[in-house]
Chains A and B, each alone.
Chain A
Amino acid sequence: MLEECAVLVLFAFPAMADVSADRARALEHMVTQDCGSCHGLTLKGGLGRPLTREALANADPEGLTLIILDGIPGTAMPPWRPLLTEDEALWIANYLKGKD
């Protein structure tokens, strides 16, 4: 429930990426499950660093969007461009910034 509220709040934010409510739900699932396989289900870190709001406090959403789309070459962080649009990556970046 709480998480769903967070999505709605983010979604209402003016600078938000253009992503449908259905797709947003799928993206949220993807963050937990697929990003979670390396960053931890609660995003507190694993093979990849923690992606909690605290850990990303100094990161800007545009920078995160690029990391998500292009990965970090030379590390295990893969580029998600084949699976995500730029809007979707921006949505995830904002979602991470807003999530506890």
Chain B
Amino acid sequence: MRALAALAFALLTSTALAADLPQAVATGDLGLVIERASGSLVLIDRSDRAALGRIEGLGDLSHASLTYAPDERFAFVFGRDGGLTKVDLLTRTIAARTVQAGNSIGGAISDDGKLVAVSNYEPGGVKVFDAETLALVADIPAKGKTVGLVDVPGRRFAWTVWDTGEVFLGDFSGAEPAVEMIGNAGKNPFDAVLTDDAHTFLVGLFGEKGVTAFDLWNPAAPPQKFLTDYGKTGEDMPVYKMPHLQSWAFTEGQYALPAVGRHEILWVDRESQTQTAATPVHGQPVFIIAQPASPYVWVNFATPLNDVVQVVDSRSHEVVATLTPGKAVLHMEFAPRGAEVWISARDDNAVLIYDTRTREKVGEVQAEAPSGIFFTARAHQTGL
């Protein structure tokens, strides 16, 4: 019955509305999965737990990421090869593309959706583009590879430089960009993250131990370095994959951070910036991501221990579940309200869908060597 009704409706609309409304699709539960080896994206429907189609021709997507326009129609994809591609989720086509640098690493969109900034390795610096046309708006060179680029409210962006440790805050709300060096984080920052209240810009260090916090509500305040002596008791292990600093705020005001070179998650009290606990885990953490509206964080690990995902309770700091979703788990993305988590298993060519309450697999979507998974709800989150 329902199918018939739908068919009748489709026929009706195809005659009456076809010209101005070819297909009424809402994007609020859609998402994109990066197929890193083939330079393509899979468009997914979260509610249907299904792949809707593939968008091709995006270049080298190893370590690629993307961000969404506020209308949740367009995505901006940051490729490793310096490609910046604007993708239309409705038409499933490339709306615009520019190869803006030789080698790049991520980007962000301004709070008003007008500007897209890209973080570049080669030549090092940040380039800012008009989100509508992808025309270059500003070019801020750096003395090295820029990492940890985030959007800051008020048409601003913050970033740091791997080679020099400098941290910059750029304001693009005026006629001319105003870029200010707000301090030095330390030796070889590998990534940075902005807290959800846009208060603290946390910069993780690779070249020395520690995390440096910058107060963006008061950029003149001196930066605070913490976790400077974690793991003094044991030998550090080689780091086979740089961790990411994607998660921060959990119950009881804590940060959960990866211990570089160790099989540990470090818990830090947000207020006092002191370590409160360490959780021994399966491997070196890559992503530590908070399950929304819950006390749990989910962790994946660096090669060769990357076929496991663990769930840790932020109250007890204990591992409460160990899952083996598939081979080479690269990323996890939660439904915005936390009911499900989608997990990419690169070497199984699949994205596995888990219910977060039962922690049982409830679905699966095929994708070629999938890495990052990005739901459109990210459009409304600061600092992504």
Asked if B105 CB lies within 8 Å of chain A CBs, one says yes
The answer to whether B188 and A41 touch across the interface, beta carbons within 8 angstroms, is no
Q: Is the CB of B62 within 8 A of A41?
A: yes
Q: Does B32 lie at the interface of the complex (its beta carbon under 8 Å from any beta carbon of A)? A: no
Contact A76 B304 (CB under 8 A): no
Q: Known A45-B121, A46-B105; judge A40-B62 contact (CB<8 A).
A: yes
Residues in chain B near residue A42, CB distance under 8 A: 60, 62, 81
Name which of A11-19, A31-39, A55-63, A90-98 contacts chain B: A31-39
Complex Cα distance, B285 from A62, in Å, reads: 32
Docked pose: A57 CA to B50 CA in angstroms: 46
B121 touching A76 by the CB < 8 A rule? Answer: no
Contact B238 A47 (CB under 8 A): no
CB distance from A69 to the nearest CB of B (A): 11
List chain B residues, Cβ under 8 A from A44. 60, 81, 103
What is the minimal beta-carbon distance from B253 to any residue of chain A, in angstroms?
A: 32
- Given A46-B121, A76-B206, A40 and B80 touching (CB < 8 A)? yes
B227 in the interface (beta carbon within 8 A): no
Q: Are B103 and A46 in contact (CB under 8 A)?
A: yes
Contact with A along B204-225 (1 / 0, CB 8 A): 0010000000000000000000
| Of B19-27, B86-94, B239-247, B357-365, the one with at least 4 CB within 8 A of chain A | B239-247
1/0 per residue, CB under 8 A from A, across B335-371: the answer is: 0000000000011000000000000000000000000
Q: Which of A63-96 contact B (CB under 8 A)?
A: 71, 76, 78-80, 82-83
A38, A41, A76: the one within 8 Å of B37 (CB):
A41
Instruction: Indicate whether A47 sits within 8 Å of B162 (C-beta atoms), given known contacts A40-B60, A79-B238.
Output: yes
Given contacts A41-B80, A78-B239, A79-B238, contact A47 B145 (CB under 8 A): yes
Cα distance A37–B188 in the bound complex, in angstroms: 17
Q: Which residue of chain B lies nearest to A38 when distances are taken between CB atoms in the complex? A: B242
In chain B, positions 170-224 with a C-beta closer than 8 Å to chain A are 188, 190, 206
Bound CA span A42–B79, Å? 12
The residues in B between 62 and 85 inclusive whose CB is less than 8 angstroms from any CB of A are 62-63, 80-81
Confirm or deny: B122 has a beta carbon within 8 angstroms of a beta carbon on chain A. yes
* A41 in contact with B238 (CB, 8 Å): no
User: Which residues does chain B contribute within 8 Å of A82, judged by CB atoms?
Assistant: 237-238
Contacts of A36 in B (CB 8 A): 62
Tell me whether B303 is interfacial, beta carbon within 8 Å. Answer: yes
B122: A residues at CB distance < 8 A? 45
A17 CB to nearest B CB, Å:
20
Tell me the complex Cα distance, A46–B105, Å. Answer: 8
CA of A44 to CA of B61 in the docked complex: distance in angstroms? 13
Instruction: Tell whether, in the assembled complex, residue A46 and residue B63 are in contact, meaning their CB atoms are under 8 Å apart.
Output: yes
Q: Chain A: which residue is nearest B103 at the CB level?
A: A45
Would you call B36 an interface residue if the criterion is a C-beta within 8 Å of the partner chain's C-beta atoms? yes
A76 to B81 CA separation, bound complex (whole angstroms): 21
The answer to whether A76 and B239 have CB atoms under 8 Å apart is yes
A58 to B: closest C-beta gap in Å: 20
Contact B103 A34 (CB under 8 A): no
A42 to B122, CA, bound (A): 15
Q: Are B81 and A34 in contact (CB under 8 A)?
A: no
Other-chain residue from B63, B80, B242 in contact with A76 (beta carbon distance below 8 A): B242
Give the residues from 101 to 136 in chain B that come closer than 8 angstroms, CB to CB, to chain A. Answer: 103, 105, 121-122
**Which 9 A/B pairs are nearest by Cβ-Cβ distance?**
A41-B62, A78-B238, A34-B303, A79-B238, A37-B241, A36-B62, A78-B239, A78-B240, A42-B60
Residues in chain A within 8 A of chain B (CB atoms): 29, 32-34, 36-38, 40-42, 44-47, 71, 76, 78-80, 82-83
Residues of chain B at the chain A interface (Cβ within 8 Å): 36-37, 60-63, 80-81, 103, 105, 121-122, 145, 162, 188, 190, 206, 237-242, 303-304, 328, 346-347
| 11 extra A-B contacts, CB within 8 A, seeds A32-B37, A46-B103 | A34-B303, A40-B60, A41-B36, A41-B37, A44-B81, A76-B188, A76-B206, A76-B242, A78-B239, A83-B240, A83-B304
